[in-house]
Amino acid sequence: MSKQIITDFAEAIKSGLVSTTLGRCSRWVTHRRIMGEPFAGPYSFKYHPWCVEPHDASSDYVTIMKAAQMGLTEVAINRSFFTIDVLRRDVLYVLPTALNASDFSKSRFATALLYSPHLTEMFTDTNTVGLKQAGGVNLYIRGSRGDSNLKSIPVSVLILDEADEMDQRAIHLALERLSGQIHKLVFALSTPTIPKFGIHKLYLQGTQEHFFFKCPRCGRHTELIFPDCLEICGESITDPDIKRSFIKCKECEGKLQHEEKLEYLKTAKWEPTATVGEDHRSFYINQMYSYTVRPHELALAYFRGIGDDAAMVEFYNSKQGLPYIPDGGQVVESEIDLATRKYFKKDQRPDVGDESIIVMGVDQGKQLHYVVVQYICNGGGDLNAAHTAKVLCEGKVPGDDFGNLDLLMREWQIKACVIDADPQINDARRFARRFPRYVWLCRYRRGVVGKEQSISEEDGGAPITTVDRTNWLDATMGRFHSDRITLPADTSFEFKEHIKALVRTYEKDELGNSRATYLSTGPDHFAHALNYAEIALPFAAGVAEGEDVNESIL
C-alpha cells in the first residue's frame, strides 16, 4: 500500500471523526469556514465573543437587535450552512428586497464558497441566484417585497436578515412557510429603527439578553450601555480632545482600555433581563463592545448628530443598536390632549351655502376610515400653512359600503374628498364619478416634489392625484406639533392611537443618502384619512363657494 493511499485513508478517518463532533454550530463553523480579510483564516470568535451563543441558541425563535458591523450577519449565514450540512434541512433566507437577495447570493454566498473548500464541495448547484442546492437540501434566497417570492416554499428554518427594512407584512407570510414542520427555527436580526417596530418589537417578546462581563477595575458584574459607559471628551467634532474619549465601567466609572477588550470580554456571558418562556431568546449588542470601533469614533458620531436628526438616528440605530425617535418625530398624548376641545361630532351640520371649506379624507381597507375636516384661513402664503384644521367628525364603515360615503358627502357638504385609490379601485372610481369635481383618488409615490400634486385622468373616468407621502404627512402631523388642529371632545380612542402610530425617522436611499420616511408601529388608517383630508384642501379651494354638493350627482 502506497504512502499516499495511507495518508488519504488517515485523512478520511480524521475527517470522519471531526464530523462526529460538530453537532454544535459554534464548533462546526470553526472547522468548516475560512474567512477573508479583515480576520483572515479559520472562523474565530476571538474578536466577536458575543457571537458564540447566537450560533447555538436552540429556541424556536432567536432575535438579535444589534449595532452595525458586529459580525452577526455571519452568524445568520453560518446557521444557514450548518442547517443544510449537518441537520439536512431546507433554509429560507429572506432579505429586504430582491436586489439585496441577488447581491447577497453573488457576493456573501459566493465569497463564503471561495474561501471554504468544505462549502464548495457541499453545494452541488449554485447557478440559480435564488436557489442553492446541496444534494437534496435547498437554500432559498428571497427578497421580502412581493408575495410570490415567499409562497410555496415549505422550510423548517427561516432567516430574516435586516428585518426592519423588510415589508413587515411579508414577515408574517414568511412565518407561514414553517407551518406543518416538526422542527422550526425563526432567526431574525437587524439594526433597529423605531421603538415597537420590526426587530425591537420581536426583541421585546424574548429574553432580552445583554452581554455582561467582569470589570477589570472593580471586579463587579456589568455591561456596556449608552450613555453611562461612553465618556465623551471635547466640545465639538473639531475639538482635538475628542481623541481622549473612552469607554468606562458604569459601576466604578473606571476607564476601560480599548486594547484590553479581547481579555475582559473573553469570559463575558449573555444574561436575560426579562422573564419569558424558553421558546424565544432575544439578544442586544452595541458598538461599544467592538474591537474595530474605537471610542473616539463613537464620540464623533454623536457630535455629528447634534443638530442633525438624520445623523442622530444613525448614531442610535447603527452605533448603539437602539431604536430612536427624533424630537417631534411622533405625535404624543399631550399634543392630542391640547388639540381636544369642547365640541362634539354630533354638533349641527353646515347649511348649504356656508363658506366653510369642509373636506373629507378616506383610507381604504377592510373598513373605510373617514375624517371630515373644516379648514379656516388665517392668512399667509402656502395654502395649507395658512389654514388651521378643525376635525368635525371621524368614523368608519364596512369596506364595501361606499354608499355611506355618498351620505357623508351630502350631510357635511364636502367641497373636496380625497380617497385612497386601492385596494377597491373600481368602487373608488364609481364614487368619484358620482361626484365629479368633488372626489379625487390618491396614490403615494416618491419623486413628487414637496407638496406638489401630479394629477391625471384615469381610464375609468376618475381623476387621480399622485403625491409624496412624507411631505404631506409632515404637513398633517406637523399640525399637532404646532397647535394648528383641534379635535372634538368625543374623538374615538382608535383615532388617537392611529395618529400616534406613525413615526418619522430616516432611511438610506439607493445612493446611501439619508431621507425622511414614516414608519408605523400599529394600525394607522385614521392618520392616512386625515392626511388625505389635508391633500384635499387645495382641491376644495377651487370649488365654487355656496354650491350644493347634491347638485353634482349624475
Give buried/exposed letters for 370-409 (b at 16+ CB in 10 A, else e).
bbbbbbeeeeeeeebeebbbbbbbbbbbeeeebeebeebb
DSSP assignment letter at 239: -
Tell me what pLDDT residue 451 has.
59
Residue 240: φ, ψ to 5°: -60, -20
Question: For the purposes of burial, counting CB atoms within 10 Å of the CB of 9, is it exposed (0-12), middle (13-18) or buried (19 or more)?
Answer: exposed
pLDDT of the residue at 548? 46
Assigned CATH for 333-552: 3.30.420.240
* pLDDT value at residue 3: 54
Rg (CA), the chain: 28
Q: Tens digit of pLDDT for each residue in 326-343? A: 999 999 999 999 999 999
Of residues 417, 422, 457, 424, the one with CA closest to residue 439: 417
The correct CATH number of 9-213+269-294 out of 3.40.1410.10, 3.40.50.720, 3.20.20.70, 3.40.50.300 is: 3.40.50.300
Strand partners, 157: 91, 185
Please report the pLDDT score of residue 545 as a whole number: 42
Give the pLDDT confidence score for residue 159 in this predicted structure.
93
The stretches in the chain having pLDDT less than 50 are: 1, 5-18, 544-554
At residue 554, the pLDDT reads: 34
Task: Report pLDDT for 549.
Answer: 45
Q: Where are the domains of the chain?
A: 9-213+269-294, 333-552
What pLDDT score was predicted for residue 14?
Answer: 44
DSSP-assigned letter for residue 45: S
